[in-house]
């Protein structure tokens, strides 16, 4: 027969307490489908427009249906819909891979909605640009290749006067053989 000590009981109790600490998660796998369904909606809705025109003392009422941009939905709308905070939603993306994928698809749906309405002229382009940068991770990126390859004809100058044109391998700049390049003017390279 094995006797249990007080320290064994304390260790077991401490481990059990770690498992039950904190509020249980509100996460439910159904939220994966819910978030995608929430953001799957048409970019335009048909709205009935009533117009009154007066001619010769009579009023003519015409009704027509016209497409208008659907109001955009944002993640905060979904958070309110299911009753959680943004911090909770973000923690679910870290813990649940299925929800992370659904969340990414929802962000893509928001981007598609904003892009569709912006390209149709329904949204202000500046609004669309900043919304897509902030909500969908879009960014302005310009790449300038400053590395020269091949040979370049340049005029080499020393500190006292010009030497004739010389072909310089641009690899020399990478190896530190050309110390300084002055921009502008004749494109002088000092050695």
Q: Are 188 and 155 in contact (CB under 8 A)?
A: yes
pLDDT category at 158 given cuts 50, 70, 90 is low
Q: Is the pLDDT of residue 40 over 60?
A: yes
Structural domains of the chain sorted by starting position, each given as residue range(s) with its CATH number in brackets:
26-135 (1.10.132), 151-190 (no CATH)
List of long-range contacts for 117-125, beta carbons under 8 Å, 24+ apart: 117/43, 117/44, 117/69, 117/72, 120/43, 120/44, 120/69, 122/44, 122/68, 122/69, 123/69
Kindly report the average pLDDT of the chain as a whole number: 75
Task: State the pLDDT at residue 184.
Answer: 41
What average pLDDT does the segment 44-69 reach? Answer: 83
In this structure, of 20-24, 118-122, 165-169, the range with the lowest mean pLDDT score is 165-169
What average pLDDT does the segment 33-50 reach? Answer: 89
Task: State the pLDDT at residue 183.
Answer: 41
Q: Are 114 and 123 in contact (CB under 8 A)?
A: yes
pTM of the model: 0.56
Most confident stretch, 18-22, 85-89, 138-142, 172-176: 85-89
What average pLDDT does the segment 26-47 reach? Answer: 90
- Beta-carbon contacts of residue 53 (< 8 Å; ≥ 6 apart): 59, 60, 62
**How much of the chain exceeds pLDDT 70, in percent?**
65
Nearest to 50 by CA among 66, 35, 38: 66
* pLDDT tens-digit map of 71-84: 888 889 999 999 99
pLDDT category at 22 given cuts 50, 70, 90 is confident
96 vs 45, which has greater pLDDT?
Answer: 96
- Dihedral of CA 107/108/114/115: which sign? positive
């Amino acid at each position: 027969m094995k006797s249990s000590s007080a320290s064994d009981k304390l260790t077991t109790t401490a481990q059990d307490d770690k498992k039950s600490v904190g509020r249980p998660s509100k996460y439910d796998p159904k939220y994966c489908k819910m978030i995608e369904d929430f953001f799957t909606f048409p970019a335009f809705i048909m709205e009935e427009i009533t117009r009154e025109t007066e001619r010769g003392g009579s009023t003519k009422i015409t009704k027509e249906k016209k497409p208008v941009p659907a109001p955009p939905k944002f993640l905060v709308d979904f958070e309110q819909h299911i009753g959680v905070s943004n911090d909770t939603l973000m923690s679910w993306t870290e813990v649940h891979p299925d929800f992370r994928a659904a969340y990414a698809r929802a962000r893509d749906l928001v981007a598609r909605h904003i892009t569709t309405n912006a390209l149709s002229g329904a949204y202000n382009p500046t609004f669309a640009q900043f919304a897509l940068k902030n909500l969908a991770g879009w960014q302005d990126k310009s790449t300038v290749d400053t590395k020269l390859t091949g040979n370049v004809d340049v005029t080499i100058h020393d500190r006292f006067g010009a030497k004739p044109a010389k072909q310089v391998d641009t690899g020399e700049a990478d190896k530190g053989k050309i110390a300084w390049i002055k921009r502008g003017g004749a494109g002088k390279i000092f050695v």
